[in-house]
A and B are shown apart, each in its own frame.
Chain A
Amino acid sequence: MEHYNMNLTLKVWRQKNASDSGRFETYPVKNISSEMSFLEMIDVLNEELISEGKDPIAFDHDCREGICGACSMYINGRPHGPWHANTTCQLHMRAYQDGDTVVIEPWRANSFPVIKDLVVDRSAFDRIIQAGGYISINTGNAVDANAIAINKDNADAAFAAAACIGCGACVAACKNSSALLFVSAKVSHLALLPQGNPERKTRAMNMVAQMDKEGFGACTNTGACEAVCPKEISIENIARLNREYMMAGAASDK
């Protein structure tokens, strides 16, 4: 790979706290190496801001390996930036050219209120899991792991759905701020496995009810979520969720 350096103009959303109304600030950044990650470029800017006695930009991040789901920047109108199937932390600066302008915003959704700058509150996702995103089994209750054979296709499909990192990009991309891709990934993961069967109906009903309660919007099948999902969670999961939900509704005998 050939490496190069670049100068960029960043327009970054700055918001002191939840009650501040927020605004864009413009920052020039110089001598950015194409080998840096996007977050390392922000690190460089932050070090400069601190040295100048200014407040650095707050943003969520932890693993920087595309797996924890913490990082969450809306870059030039797209969650996690321009690369396909990618997280913000795995975006690298070779995606940009000298002279580019990059606009950076937080996830925008009523159910993800901004805490500071680019940091938002995604605790609604945890509450949706609390509503039913699990298999009710206490420690010590399990039978031998090979007692139930699971056909490989189902196991693989469950794994593909379970790959969701809970980042919320799907919500940020959706014009209705729907969380259906996230919810459907969890419902599919568990519904595709025999262990998840006993609670199938209540799980889908309760998780959807909690999603509505948190104020996420309705799904209008636009597919923007699937297009930005870093883990390529398929929109087919939404179809599966709809079937589960209808089945549960039809059979709701409780």
Chain B
Amino acid sequence: MLDSKIPAGKLEEKWVDYKGHCKLVNPANKRKLEIIIVGTGLAGASAAASLGELGYKVKAFCFQDSPRRAHSIAAQGGINAAKNYQNDGDSVFRLFYDTVKGGDYRAREANVHRLAEVSVNIIDQCVAQGVPFAREYGGLLNNRSFGGTQVKRTFYAAGQTGQQLLIGAYQALERQVALGNVTMYSRHEMLDVVMVEGKARGIIARNLVNGELERHFGHAVLLCTGGYGNVFYLSTNAMGSNVTAAWKAHKKGATFANPCFTQIHPTCIPVSGDHQSKLTLMSESLRNDGRIWVPKQKGDKRKANDIPEEERDYYLERRYPAFGNLVPRDVASRAAKERCDAGYGVGTTGQAVYLDFKFNLINKYGKTEAGKLGIENPDIETLMRLGKEVVKEEYGNLFDMYEKITGENPYEVPMRIYPAVHYTMGGLWVDYELMTNVKGLYCLGEANFSDHGANRLGASALMQGLADGYFVIPYTIGNYLADEIATKPIPLTHEAFEQTEKSVADRINTLMNIKGKQTVESFHKRLGKIMWEKCGMARNAQGLQEAITEIQALKKEFWSDVRIPGTINEMNPELDKAGRVADFIELGELMCKDALNRNESCGGHFREESQTAEGEAERKDDEFAYVAAWEYAGESNWNLHKEHLNFEIAKPTQRSYK
């Protein structure tokens, strides 16, 4: 059932070869072909702009009031590319290798190699659009390093990289809107895929301003709808991020791959109370300059600055001397949890560790700046002041954000941080061309499963989203649409449109008519709690089985007791949210099922049953070197399809960051 369509030939020649031989659509025919793009974050906006430029007729959708507000805007730290501008030994091969290794050998080699190849074009394209990346005094681009790698290959714009990249893609998109090549539908939510004779041919979307359902035809449909981390309720994702589009596609036959692969990010601001609505990331790049520690003494209640140096346990540096504070995210998160569970956590809840900048403020930046200025024997205060200026330029906005949220000044006292759900590596299964197993239905960006295996390296999601949209889909979609040039637009009165719209309307009516007692938000919180406790940073068979039972019960309760205020035909954010939470509940069950099936530890997925004597994750390549693609087979029922992974170049080894 699953054909990954990986081209034959040598790894480094596959993509070049593919581009040389894929089918093309001539310009006159492109104008007759309509493409629907759901989602206009980095993946969707770059795809919409590029396909519009090629001459296709594009319709793009997003649920925010403007494409400029997609969740991609929040990305902080940076974007990777194998430019080797630093002359520190980087190359396409190394980026490929680091990504496969970082993903703990659960990604497809061919996809990852292509990603590394096009990474260099992304930076060129963005700079040409006017993306203001950080520069050196000589006027050339600057780089920083990110976790899990030993080269400096990350391009950045202070702590606002995602914003600047998205604004670049958004502007390119708006230019195509002005030229009439793209029609933009903001405040619209896609609620189903329309299938005609086994192919995706359109969508049903709801206008979120007046609640009306709309039918839209396309020769192909692209889902660029982002990740599903909000299944945990609390995550670093934007409030609106959801799984609905992907989930509807799943129910129409698209397999969902590796749903349990979730990334828990080690450096987020800890939960402060029950009112918490989301968690805020403190970029991984801070780990370049901050040292992570807890007190050596259990339950030490002294203030951080009162704990002397020799009573601090820099546990990452201790456990992983080679990578220290720069170990990959999954490793850093588990290490934090281990310390807190063992009773060494800090802050009022004990669920936090320190991220301390003082050492580098003084020793790294302070001293360098003092040297530049020719200040001899500077005192600590001068060094601190000089160091602060540098750090402010690099991450000023993040430090400000931390202070606004916590009321504490991170230049003076160490940040308190704790792991939080951040990114989902799983997603709709796609082949090499980014097509799902449903013909004509594509999936790009975080919404697909393709490039990060069981753990994503920092600064690689922005790269993947833009690779998919700018440089992959413009080729691969032609290979499909070349055979569709004779297909006339299907009238919106076609029975497939009628029926799909009716089922969407029926579901909305059912939801509104429950008229129960509990709010949507309360169900979402309960789901999140089950997921975090039993399908979070550490998982075991018993907990996962309990979670499945609890989620099934929660689902029943939701469908009999949820209360949605207001009416259908008006702006009704509670109704929008209810549909999304209903889908999250179903997804949660599948995630637990997938986690239960994968009785190994790999990347972000840690099964307590599968660890070494030292408590490190233990992968089982003989049994689990496959992509788990789940086919929907009716309520609470899925069939598992396995795509076996072959590693010809990057031979699996047990990851070691010691």
**A residues at B contact (CB < 8 Å):** 1, 16-17, 33, 35-37, 39-40, 43-44, 47, 49-51, 53-56, 58, 60-70, 83, 85-86, 90, 92, 94, 115-116, 119, 121-123, 125-126, 129-131, 133-146, 148-152, 155, 158-159, 162-163, 165-166, 189-190, 193, 195-196
Contact = CB atoms under 8 A, between A and B. Distances in A.
A139 B474 contact: yes
B213 interface: no
B174 A126 contact: yes
B499 interface: no
Contacts, number: 218
A112 to B, nearest CB: 11
A55 B123 CA distance: 47
B567 to A, nearest CB: 10
A55 B405 contact: no
Given A63-B73, A115-B571, A145-B127, A44 B53 contact: no
Given A67-B73, A149-B140, A151-B139, A36 B275 contact: yes
Given A60-B65, A133-B171, A67 B74 contact: yes
B130 A189 contact: yes
A248 to B, nearest CB: 18
B51 to A, nearest CB: 9
B174 A133 contact: yes
Contact of B141 (A17, A35, A146): A146
Contact of A142 (B125, B160, B404): B125
A1 B347 CA distance: 11
13 contacts: A54-B565, A62-B240, A63-B69, A68-B68, A68-B69, A92-B407, A133-B171, A135-B171, A137-B128, A150-B139, A155-B132, A159-B134, A166-B69
Contacts of A64: 238-239, 277-278, 280
A122 B66 contact: yes
B563 interface: yes
B562 to A, nearest CB: 10
B158 to A, nearest CB: 7
Interface string B119-150: 00101111111101111111111000000000
B407 A1 contact: yes
Contact of A69 (B53, B68, B278): B68
A149 B577 CA distance: 47
B71 interface: yes
Contacts of A50: 519, 563, 565, 574
B69 A70 contact: yes
B386 to A, nearest CB: 18
Interface string B175-195: 101100000101000000000
A70 B239 CA distance: 11
B85 A122 contact: no
Contacts of B126: 145
Nearest to B135: A155
Nearest to B50: A139
B273 A33 contact: yes
Interface string B156-183: 0110100110010011101101100000
B69 A142 contact: no
Interface string B49-79: 1100100000000001111111101100000
B521 interface: yes
Given A145-B123, A195-B127, A35 B273 contact: yes
A47 B275 CA distance: 11
B377 interface: no
B73 A68 contact: yes
With most chain B CB atoms within 10 A of its CB, the pick from A134, A137, A139 is: A139
